Structure 1
């Protein structure tokens, strides 16, 4: 159902209310409809904002002060619909104003100790970046998830023009958006060659969508597109499916690599995943590398690549991206880390996703 159709439904319910305390505000809603013909959502938002202002003013008045008539109490279903329309308006405004930036985080090849790729992470101009997942969740909840994803993909592809040309670019996308017909159209309109693109799936592929996903993604893989999956979404069934899907990259996180330098069971788990990825022809990438000890053991185990705050923070600055052609010196990194910890008296911060 469109925003406009929902707005008309809510407005009809509000105007049908007979509570005298809300007569004045209902009249203003009716007047706003006349002033905004054909745009009921704008009139509804003005009504919603005035209602919230009245609530706030009523809360600030002293108990012994003059009493205002309480605003009309709306049914919970109407309030939910209003909240949904407010979310739609927020996301729509974000999409229209293109308030999206892209931060890139380097991914190092652990054998050659050089940057081989980057992961694109969305940052919102009106936000510090920490709540990016909340924006995407809110968009998905009101049916605009794919729109926001494709806007983020376009923003990342445009920003990637300033990256060193030898780096691949990992773009986060939901399996549902991979089925969207806009995906092949995207590759026809961006400057980033498809053989430099890795689509990193942000969720498991549902059974209902699996065949559609394969049908949509295989023609793109034949043109050079690569895909990555996250072990966080890998139950036993998903591991079995990986044998069929054969992703180009498998990404393992802190649940696998935490204490891998001091815990024998963690080492055994990581070694099993190295063997599994070798068997199906996938590149294993360790996410969230935080200590030099972890980095050394991961390299010894044969994990192909790694990323994390230890190796490089996400950055929106092209001047930082331009430096990602230098080889990593682990001894220098270890010394710098010790000096930082001595100066600050704390361990390096963890990556916030």
Structure 2
């Protein structure tokens, strides 16, 4: 799921929406990553559940033994917890759980993804010593600025610091791309339980994965109401199937689920394809937003997309906003919503997600 530039770093990249936060700056903020890892460690240690005391004590010992490397200590703890959980759980005859989220005694952060034994082994081999997490980036309504939604972004914690795009690409090359996307979707839906219910949640999927029956089942069974879910299609849309029919996302769209696509940059889509898909949201990505205030060609393209969106009844969102000038330009285009570094970096911490909503509500209150 979804877009920013590095392993467990806040931000938004310009590559593929499932990995990046829709900002193009490719710099990984090591300090911020360490702070977020420390937040996760603190949340685990703050758990008072008696059955997880042994796991917490082990984590404390790991941190004390390597205080200069909290990331490595957390990773070792999670991998060890995964092994213990697998050893303690009976394995079904043909299918077994492959936990690819935050594996610890903190049950609210643990996700078991049902996959075959062979697929589990393949994914684990590709991920090696990686940890799959979900971060959320705020989406602000324009012109008011209220936080109306979040975009789910996949994070991998690992010693080599490889970005999510690397791991999704390698999984796809090994024929396991859909399995990894579904695992990331499962993680995002679980994390979304802690997103304020006033916010929508955007989930990034390739067209092929979005048509997989397991995706439809996961979304239908999610705690989120359909009208809070946005499925953003990433990558090529040349062979999109199942987005309107009964066998695909059609029934969920009828219940309020929204479909989003990018109509600029690397994922350039023809107007004919947009009309065929009839998306609810069209996104202007970082390729089009960067420097738009001084590029007449970009302005003309953006205006054309906004006009087409009006014709089909879709909203237009801008992503990758990094400067006040870019924000001013997209606001002048009557874009519905925006996200990017300027407005808010992605975070893995639930307290941040709630704070965005509280801050927006406070700022909206009249003075006096």
- TM-score normalised per structure 2: 0.60
Q: 2:227 matched to which residue of 1?
A: 195
8 Å contact 2:126–2:170 — kept in the other structure?
Answer: no
Query: Structure 1: how far apart are the matches of 2:361 and 2:331?
Result: 13
Q: 2:145 matched to which residue of 1?
A: 113
Q: Deviations over 1:165-196 (max 9, x none)?
A: 11111111111112211112212433222221
Query: Structure 1: how far apart are the matches of 2:300 and 2:362?
Result: 27
SS of residue matched to 1:165: coil
8 Å contact 1:289–1:306 — kept in the other structure?
Answer: yes
* TM-superposed deviation, 1:115: 0.9
* Pairwise CA RMSD: 2.9
Larger C-alpha radius of gyration, 1 or 2? Answer: 1
* TM-superposed deviation, 1:302: 0.6
Q: Deviations over 1:147-176 (max 9, x none)?
A: 111110111111111111111111111111
SS of residue matched to 1:214: coil
Q: Deviations over 1:70-124 (max 9, x none)?
A: xxxxxxxxxxxxxxxx998462357899932101011111122111111100112
Confirm whether residue 307 of structure 1 aligns to residue 339 of structure 2: yes
Query: Structure 2: how far apart are the matches of 1:127 and 1:119?
Result: 25
SS of residue matched to 1:303: coil
Q: 2:354 matched to which residue of 1?
A: 322
Gaps of 5+ in 1: 1-85, 331-353
SS of residue matched to 2:203: strand
Q: 1:259 matched to which residue of 2?
A: 291
8 Å contact 1:172–1:202 — kept in the other structure?
Answer: yes
1:221 to 245, 253, 266: 253
Q: 1:64 matched to which residue of 2?
A: none
Q: Deviations over 1:330-351 (max 9, x none)?
A: 9xxxxxxxxxxxxxxxxxxxxx
Confirm whether residue 132 of structure 1 aligns to residue 151 of structure 2: no
SS of residue matched to 1:91: helix
Query: Structure 2: how far apart are the matches of 1:141 and 1:178?
Result: 18
* TM-superposed deviation, 1:323: 1.3
8 Å contact 1:136–1:145 — kept in the other structure?
Answer: yes
Confirm whether residue 153 of structure 1 aligns to residue 188 of structure 2: no
8 Å contact 1:87–1:138 — kept in the other structure?
Answer: no
* TM-superposed deviation, 1:221: 0.6
Higher mean alpha-carbon deviation, 271-280 vs 97-106, is at 97-106
- TM-score normalised per structure 1: 0.62
Judged with a 3 Å threshold, the aligned counterparts in structure 2 of structure 1 residues 304 and 247 are, in CA distance, closer, same or farther, namely same
Q: 1:176 matched to which residue of 2?
A: 208
Query: Structure 2: how far apart are the matches of 1:189 and 1:258?
Result: 38
Q: Deviations over 1:268-291 (max 9, x none)?
A: 222222111111111111111111
* TM-superposed deviation, 1:143: 1.6
- Give the 5 Å matches for 1:285-304: 285-304=317-336
Query: Structure 2: how far apart are the matches of 1:219 and 1:312?
Result: 33
Q: 1:204 matched to which residue of 2?
A: 236
Q: 2:90 matched to which residue of 1?
A: none
Query: Structure 2: how far apart are the matches of 1:119 and 1:278?
Result: 23
* TM-superposed deviation, 1:266: 2.5
Judged with a 3 Å threshold, the aligned counterparts in structure 2 of structure 1 residues 98 and 190 are, in CA distance, closer, same or farther, namely farther
Query: Structure 2: how far apart are the matches of 1:148 and 1:175?
Result: 14
Task: Flag the structure with more relative contact order, 1 or 2, with Cα contacts below 8 A and sequence separation at least 6.
Answer: 2
* TM-superposed deviation, 1:235: 4.7
Confirm whether residue 273 of structure 1 aligns to residue 273 of structure 2: no
Q: Deviations over 1:50-71 (max 9, x none)?
A: xxxxxxxxxxxxxxxxxxxxxx
